[in-house]
Amino acid sequence: MTEPLSFELSRRGALAPRLPEAGVTAPEPSQVFSQDQLRANPLDLPRLSEPELMRHYSRMASMNYSISEQFYPLGSCTMKYNPVVNEAAATLPGFADLHPYQDESTVQGALELMWRLERALCAVVGVERVTLQPAAGAHGEWTALRMISAYHHSRGDNRTEVLVPDSAHGTNPASAALSGFHVVEVKSGPDGRISLPDLESKLSPHVAALMLTNPNTLGLFEREILDIAEMVHATGAMLYYDGANLNAFMGICRPGDMGFDAVHMNLHKTFTTPHGGGGPGAGPVGVKADLVPFLPTPTVERTNGHLKLDFKRPQSIGRVRSFYGNFGMLVRAYAYIVAMGGDGLAQASRDAVLSANYLRKQVEDDLDMPHEGPCMHEFVASAHNLAPQGVRALDIAKALLDRDFYAPTVYFPLVVPEAIMVEPTETESKATLDAFAAAIKEIVAEARSNPQALHDAPRNLPVGRLDEVAAARRINAYLQGLSDDPVLRWKPAPK
Amino acid sequence: MSNERRYTKTHEWVTVDAKTVTVGITDFAQSQLGDVVFLELPSIGRKLALRESFGVIESVKAASDLYSPVAGRVTAVNDKLTSKPELINSDPYGDGWILKLELTGDLPGDLLDEAEYKKVAEAGAH
Amino acid sequence: MPYLVHSDEDRTSMLEAIGVKSMDDLLVDIPRSLRIKALDLPLGLSEHETMSQITSLAARNRVFPDRLTFRGGGVYRRFIPAAVAAVTSKPEFYTAYTPYQPEASQGTLQAIFEFQTLIAELTALDVANASLYDGATAVAEAAMMAHIHTGRNEIVVAGYLHPEYVEVLRAFSDGRGIKVRKGTEPGPKTAAVIFQQPDFIGLLVDAKTLTESAHAAGALAIACVDPISLAILAPPGQYGADIAVGEGQQLGLSPSYGGPHVGFISCRKELVRRLPGRLIGTAYDQQGRRGFNLALAAREQHIRREKATSNICTNHSLCALAASVYMTYMGPDGLRHVAEVGFKRAHALAERLSALPGWEPAFPDRQFLNEFPMRVANGPAVIRKLARKGILGPLDVHRWFRELKGVVTFTCTEVNDAQALDELVAALS
């Protein structure tokens, strides 16, 4: 099925929606503004009637896979169920219609929600305070590194390096570089965990922080985390926690207790706020006492039951976005935490770990398992065993799409060739897990008997594999003025 | 100085003709990158230090920095690569050359010969 | 427990299948000293109790009717067609993940491709990206683009750019050794001049001159614009700006106490490779069918890692979808109409306010679109009085700008009907 672009469906004669008239005596824009100040070329936007518009978007929606319909075992993404009641909560007029510049006395409920969410997140991860300002995970990560940088500067300490494991997500080194640090990679050992000897060789008074995910991107718990924390702190550096994998151990252990100074979290992963096709999310950051003075401004403070925004924070790193945070997402996460409670969150992590180990067991003979179990809430397999058949992780991913599953993460982490990272989460039934395992077995069998079928996948979707190289070349041609097709937007056919 | 190709650990190759050094990336490097779609290259006249990063080479799935194997001044850039970056894949040692430098001082002592580079490439492959 | 699916029988049989006796065998890597008994949180609640708690928090907030809201400052009450929520609440859109498997994500990819085209058209520039978090981070990202493109270290902020956007720009710049200076004259170290049109207090600036002077100094011109204003006012491409950024909240998003909203960025084609974040482009499959895909991914953090222009990993996709629906619903005529109604009502209101004793236009010789500054003694007291009468009055901008003592800004949009204007004026008399 295909669906034309709104621009292609547009018709000259289609009427604009009926809108209220001004109903006042006032000049026309052309009487107030000069020719220069007015738009010269009329806007060329699509004209569609409402029935056509709704049909257009509904057809596009049906071309998407989504967690509402398909199992999404994306490693490190925690694609768990998005509770529908959270949508009702966030869209209450008492939240949705609040202007951010309303007087604080008129938004006590909103501030109380933020304060309570902060307390709850502090309890889950074991820190003193949490900033709810960052709009996304990468944004939160950068915010944490800015705070760490400010901390060192406040002590007259000019530290220029940040250590990042070779298995780290790409945002880790990117955020570090954007915070003004030089990035140094630390190797993983053969057991998939960070190599302590290599870490030791790279620690020095130049190092501002070590960034770690725990469990790491291979789904393995860093057993020596207490030693690691001690080593890092002994050199005066800080320990940063990337919360992508927090779903592994809520209620079981806490990053704060492990020695992490800054703890980053993703509300759109662990705390169910919906992914929306790529955002919005929220990336709160928890901090221990030493980093509290550097939190972004404003913070939410509560005295005698009265809430206020605190703008008087002289050592703050400033603002990282406008207003106070992705408030609508904060409401959703808060509703989830209230519904689950401490007991529910702990059971969620336990079920997540159980499901991942169960699924790993089901497919351990079909795919390569580069590391020993048990895993935590996710595991990394490899399609390397199918190399003799010329079949790659990409082929497996596409073949899963044909079988009505969204594919797991592939080609990450970089330390495992042909990596397939699987995270089932706690909201998938055993029957779903069994069906997925069966699909893997079927695909692996097909790899051995008819690998071409996998190279041709997917065949059941609106499009097959897209030629990215040709697309990149067409973009090049456009950027060099050799072609009129912009590729990155629709353009009307030349007259 | 002979005309035979020498290599760096970061997968660039050089040939030398009097004071002119021609630079490109190796066959191994292009196979790792996949189809090259874009290069960001320096302007003519730019001075490069030994191992200074002088540009970026992009495929759809990867982007790699290019490091100058010698110290020198850029005297020529392969213009064909602007519209046909795929030359790097099809002919990395010939038509896919990237730039020419006027050498400053001597050739660095740690350039690898064919056999030494082969070992580096094999270790890097997975 | 809510949202969990395994029964105790399931758990037992899964443990057996794995071949372990208990969960402790799976948690064996966690040092005993780190294990906690329970989280220091209340126990979970039923859905009814949960919603009770949430609604009582919502009830502790005061909602001003949109027709009686005259405050702007970057977030505005607008008519949001029902079609917007009807589309964004489709689970196929709101529960979908980032479109890394394009074949299974054509709905999202096409919708965002349409968004990119709409923004490029609105701003009259060549290419727009798939959206950013908000107007503030969009301004900061554009400044970073200019820094990388020109190799220069200074950003000049000309005139009244939204003060929170300036704060965010400073936070981004601090990390990269870039200086932010307020002024109008770019110099040899200037990477870009940034200005807002209309500015934070609603006034039109001389965008053409600011752009030309930036170019004369070898700097880029970055215009931070109100998207609805572009239906009437000259778009950045028309006066030669290099990059356009802004906040898209007015395009179908609720105020929601400040977020989530959506930032947009567009630029001339020469700068496309510097664009941060996601870009969606067309691509074809083996059968020649047109699809949409993430393009120029090699710019992004997951590939460039520490060499990426930005660390941005995501966009505000669902918000961009809402904006897309809004702009498509309105069409060029609807958008123009909405801009004109706001313009007319604001001008009518300004005239009526100027006739009240104690009130005068703060900058009588300057033009405005639908947000304008007035001067009055004791603005805070006036605002409090209006609030008691159920009106969300103007914004006191003295809070951010010392030189603007006594200045408050009013906004009118299509939701402030003529009668609401009467009520406001009556309340002030």
User: Does the pLDDT at position C305 exceed 50?
Assistant: yes
Backbone CA torsion sign across C238, C241, C242, C244 = negative
Question: Where is C376: in which H helix or E strand?
Answer: strand C371-376
Residue A182 has pLDDT above 70, yes or no: yes
User: Most C CBs within 10 Å: which of B43, B53, B60, B66, as the mutation test of the C interface?
Assistant: B60
Would you state the structure tokens that stand for residue C265, as one six-digit string? 């960025």
Within 8 A of B32 by CB-CB distance, chain A residues are none
pLDDT tens for each residue of A122-155? 999 999 999 999 999 999 999 999 999 999 999 9
Q: Is the pLDDT of residue B1 over 50?
A: no
Yes or no, beta carbons of A476 and B35 under 8 Å apart: no
Distance, in Å, from the CA atom of A463 to the CA atom of A343, rounded to the nearest integer, reads 44
Distance separating alpha carbons of residues A427 and A411, to the nearest angstrom: 25
The number of C-alpha atoms within 13 Å of B3 and in the hemisphere containing its C-beta is: 2
- Residue A421 bridge partners (DSSP): A380, A409
Mean pLDDT of B34-44: 89
Count other Cβ atoms within 10 Å, centred on residue C188.
Answer: 9
Q: Which residues of A30-46 are buried (b: 16+ CB within 10 A; e: fewer)?
A: eebbeeebebeeebbbb
Rounded Cα gap, residues A185 and C410, in angstroms? 53
Size of interface A-B (CB pairs under 8 A): 22
Instruction: Determine the average pLDDT of the residues in A225-251.
Output: 97
Residue C303's pLDDT is what?
Answer: 60
**d(Cα A369, Cα A381) in Å, to the nearest integer?**
5
Mean pLDDT, chain B, integer: 88
Q: Which of the two residues, C319 and C306, has the higher pLDDT score?
A: C319
**pTM for the structure as a whole:** 0.95
> 3-state DSSP call for residue A268?
coil
Residue ranges of alpha helices (H) inside C89-246 are 91-94, 106-123, 135-150, 163-174, 207-216
Nearest CB neighbour to B38, from listed A417, A468, A476: A476
**Chain B residues 8-67 with a CB less than 8 Å from chain C:** 37-38, 40, 56, 58-63, 65
Residue C306 pLDDT > 60: no
C-alpha to C-alpha distance for C357 and A484, rounded to whole angstroms: 59
Report the pLDDT value the prediction gives residue B126, as an integer from 0 to 100.
Answer: 44
Strand bridging mode B12-17 / A419-422: unpaired
ipTM for the predicted complex: 0.97
Q: How far apart are the C-alpha atoms of C379 and A247, rounded to whole Å? A: 49
Nearest C-alpha in A relative to B85: A473
Q: Is residue C223 helix, strand or coil?
A: strand
Per DSSP bridges, beta strands C179-182 and A306-310 are: unpaired
CA distance C379 to C401: 14
Q: Torsion angle, CA of A185/A189/A194/A200, rounded to 10 degrees? A: -70
Residue B89 carries which side chain, given as an amino acid letter? N
Of C299 and A358, the structure prediction assigns the larger pLDDT to: A358
Task: Provide the token pair at C97.
Answer: 């993940």
Residue A262, classed as helix, strand or coil, is: strand
Q: Residue C285: its chain A contacts at CB < 8 A?
A: 463-467
Question: Do residues A335 and C54 lie in contact, with contact meaning Cβ atoms separated by under 8 Å?
Answer: yes
pLDDT digits (tens, 9 = 90+) for A11-43: 887 888 999 999 999 999 999 999 999 999 999
Residues 399-418 of A with CB under 8 A from B: 411, 417
C11 by DSSP, 3-state: which? helix
Sign for the pseudo-dihedral over CA of C178, C181, C183, C189: negative
Mean pLDDT of C152-157: 97
Q: Tokens in use for C368? A: 């405005």
* Stretch (H or E) spanning C324: helix C317-354
Of the candidates C197, C195, C269, the one whose C-alpha atom is nearest the C-alpha of residue C230 is C197
Three-state DSSP at C354 gives helix
* In contact, A148 and A288? CB cutoff 8 Å: no
**Residue B4's Cα: distance from chain center in Å?**
15
Residue C314's pLDDT band (boundaries 50, 70, 90)?
confident
List the beta bridge partners of residue A162: A183, A209
Tens digits of residue pLDDT in C163-184 = 999 999 999 998 788 999 999 9
**A238/A234 Cα distance (integer angstroms):** 10
**Residue C215 CB neighbour total at 10 angstroms:** 16
Q: What is the mean pLDDT of chain C?
A: 95
What DSSP assignment string belongs to C62-126?
A: PPPPGGGB---TT-------HHHHHHHT-HHHHT---SSSGGGBHHHHHHHHHHHHHHHHHHT-S
A51-79 pLDDT tens trace: 999 999 999 999 999 999 999 999 999 99
pLDDT at C336 over 50: yes
C245: closest CA among C296, C192, C281?
C192
Q: Count CB atoms within 10 A of the CB of residue A242.
A: 31
Name, of B36-40, C149-153, C349-353, the range with top average pLDDT.
Answer: C349-353
Closest CA to C298 of A123, B35, A74: B35
Give the mean pLDDT of C327-350: 97
Q: Hey, what are C50's tokens?
A: 């949960």
pLDDT classification of A170: cutoffs 50, 70, 90? confident
* Alpha-carbon gap, residue C212 to C195, rounded angstroms: 13
Q: What is the pLDDT of residue A12?
A: 80
Question: Model confidence at A179, in pLDDT bands (50, 70, 90)?
Answer: confident
Coil, strand or helix: which one is A342?
Answer: helix
How many other CB atoms are found less than 10 A from the CB of residue C217?
Answer: 16
The string of pLDDT tens digits covering residues C238-295 is: 999 999 999 999 999 999 999 999 999 999 999 998 999 999 999 999 999 999 999 9
Chain C's closest residue to B53, CA to CA, is: C307
Which stretches does DSSP call E strand in A199-283? 207-213, 238-242, 262-264
Q: Verify whether the Cβ–Cβ distance A473 to B37 is below 8 Å.
A: yes
B76-98 burial, b if ≥16 CB within 10 A, otherwise e? ebbeebeebbbbbbeebeeebbb
pLDDT at C304: 61
Whether C136 shows a pLDDT value over 80: the answer reads: yes
| Contact check, Cβ <8 Å, C28/A374 | yes
Give a three-class secondary structure readout of chain B: CCCCCEECCCCEEEEEECCEEEEEECHHHHHHHCCEEEEECCCCCCEECCCCEEEEEEECCCEEEEECCCCEEEEEECCHHHHCCCHHHHCCCCCCCCEEEEECCCCCCCCECHHHHHHHHHHHCC
> Are the Cβ atoms of A482 and B83 closer than 8 angstroms?
yes
Residues of C with CB below 8 A from A424's CB? none
Task: Name the range with the highest mean pLDDT among A472-476, C91-95, C144-148.
Answer: C91-95
* CA-based nearest distance C296→chain B, Å: 7
Q: Report d(CA A183, CA A168) in Å as an integer.
A: 12
Strands A262-264 and A285-287, sheet pairing: antiparallel
The two tokens of residue C317 are: 């996709």
On the question of pLDDT at A88 being above 60, the answer is yes
Strands (E), A132-237: 161-165, 182-186, 207-213
Tokens representing B96?
């896919």
Mean residue pLDDT of chain A comes to 95
How many C-beta atoms surround the C-beta of residue B17 within 10 A? 10
Q: How far apart are CA A243 and CA B39, in angstroms?
A: 35
Above pLDDT 90, what percent of chain C? 93
Q: Which residues of C touch B58 (CB under 8 A)?
A: 298
